[in-house]
Amino acid sequence: MNSIETVATNAPVVVAKGSHRLKVSRRSMLMGVGASLLAGPAIASPCPPTEVWEVSTRHLGCCVPKENPVAQWETYRSEVGTPWQQANLLESLQSPSVSADAKTILYAHGNWMTRENSRGRIWYIVQRIRQQYDGPLRLIMLSWPSQREPHPVRDIRQNAQCADSQAFHLASLMLLFPSGQPLGVLGFSFGGRVVTAALHLVSGGKVQQGELSWLDPSSRPPAMQYRVGLVAPAVDRSWLSSSGRHHLAMRDVDQMVNLYNSQDPVLRRFRFIEASGGSIAAGFTGFLRQQGDAPSTGPLASQQRLRQFDCGGAMGVTHDERSYYRECPCFSEVVRNILWHDASPPTDAPVP
């Protein structure tokens, strides 16, 4: 441990530095201090504006809303170094505290997340994004009732249905932004199910036999306004196909990046979630190009608007969200995509 000792005389001060001993006079030390004082304090570079929001539907349960649910949300805001505080999201969007050119990303978390877990996770994602982007940033998280309950298998099936209902909230959040405004959308596991269902709803589709009755699709012309990142999505690999459950999801998507893990021990058992049985998760094999492709657990070819990467070689046997962010090198492609940065050329190859 270094220490500072005041020397009363002008005798040389001996400073040890490694194996060398340097003699420094008190006068030269004072001159050095004076010079640094005259130069003024060091000015740290300002932190880029970062605004993080939580849109909570935890108090609303898992029922499909019959009317626009925006007024029922509980919304909270946090910034770097400040605690979460209740705030009005609608007012903020009308007069944003971050600059007008801020990148806006919507995020839906996965299963078995408490409010505290989800709040920590969104800030972890901010840290990962900040490794690639230092401009103004706004992240808005949909915090939905996915906390762990007794009886895991039944709980997972119930939360799968709950994720479908949460798509109505995420879709309503998407519609708060003007048509054509570029948005990034990120979803992990069941959060990926929320995302694809929400995209399907915004394009006029139905989920759980319900639709956005407060949306007139004809009043919202198609606009390629979404860049989507899916991480280990707990959705069937056929759902984005022309006859799939979420077949309208890609209508307004400029580009989607899907990270999957062919060694995922959780999504390997995805067939037990869906009543139909035999389902294979897109987070385990990637999405199919079209309905009816032969079953496979190998890497599937990418399309121009849908790029897919197998992270299994880098991550191994895990379904951990943070492992994707830390260990899968292709998570940088997700970040580039949802920030609307120029993407790397498409590739069909899995991560080695």
pLDDT digits (tens, 9 = 90+) for 39-76: 334 434 457 789 999 999 999 999 999 999 999 999 99
What tokens were used for 209? 């036999």
Residue 141, SS3 per DSSP: strand
Residue 35 neighbours by CB under 8 Å, 6+ apart: none
Comparing 62-71, 135-144, 274-283, the range with the smallest average pLDDT is 274-283
Output 350 or 187, whichever has higher pLDDT: 187
Residue 81 Ramachandran class (φ > 0 left, ψ -120 to 50 alpha, else beta): left
pLDDT digits (tens, 9 = 90+) for 295-314: 444 445 556 789 999 999 99
Whole-number pLDDT of residue 302:
55
Q: What is the pLDDT of residue 245?
A: 92
The percent of residues above 90 in pLDDT, for the chain, comes to: 57
Is residue 75 a contact partner of residue 89, using CB atoms and an 8 Å limit?
yes
Residue 42 within a domain: no
Residue 227 phi/psi, 5-degree rounding, is -110, 125
Distance CA 64, CA 103 (A): 30
pTM to 2 decimals? 0.80
- For the stretch 125-137, pLDDT in tens is 999 999 999 999 9
Domain for residue 295, yes or no? yes
The region of weakest confidence among 208-222, 251-265, 332-346 is 208-222
* pLDDT average, residue stretch 157-161: 79
Mean pLDDT of the chain, nearest integer: 81
Domain tally, the chain: 1
pLDDT value for 140: 98
Q: What is the mean pLDDT of residues 164-169?
A: 94
Instruction: Please name every residue paired with 139 in a beta bridge, in sequence order, or none if there are none.
Output: 52, 105
Q: Which of the pair, 278 or 226, is modelled with greater confidence?
A: 226
- Average of per-residue pLDDT across 265-282: 84
Instruction: Please report whether residue 286 resides in a domain.
Output: yes
Rounded-to-integer distance, Cα 279 and Cα 349, Å: 24
Q: What is the CATH number of the domain that holds 321?
A: 3.40.50
306 domain-assigned: yes
Least confident of 161-175, 199-213, 215-229: 215-229
pLDDT, greater one: 204 or 105: 105
Q: How does residue 112 score in pLDDT terms, banded at 50, 70 and 90?
A: confident
Q: What percent of the chain has pLDDT over 70?
A: 74
Q: Within a domain: residue 12?
A: no
Burial label, 226 (beta-carbon count in 10 A; 0-12, 13-18, 19+): buried
Q: What is the rounded average pLDDT of the residues 149-172?
A: 80
CA dist 49 and 104 (Å) reads 12
Domain assignment present for residue 211? The answer is: yes
284 found inside a domain: yes
Give the pLDDT of residue 24.
43
Q: Which domain holds residue 319?
A: 50-338
Cα–Cα distance between 198 and 180 in angstroms, integer? Answer: 17
pLDDT band at residue 147 using 50, 70 and 90 as cut-offs:
low
Query: What's the pLDDT score for residue 150?
Result: 64
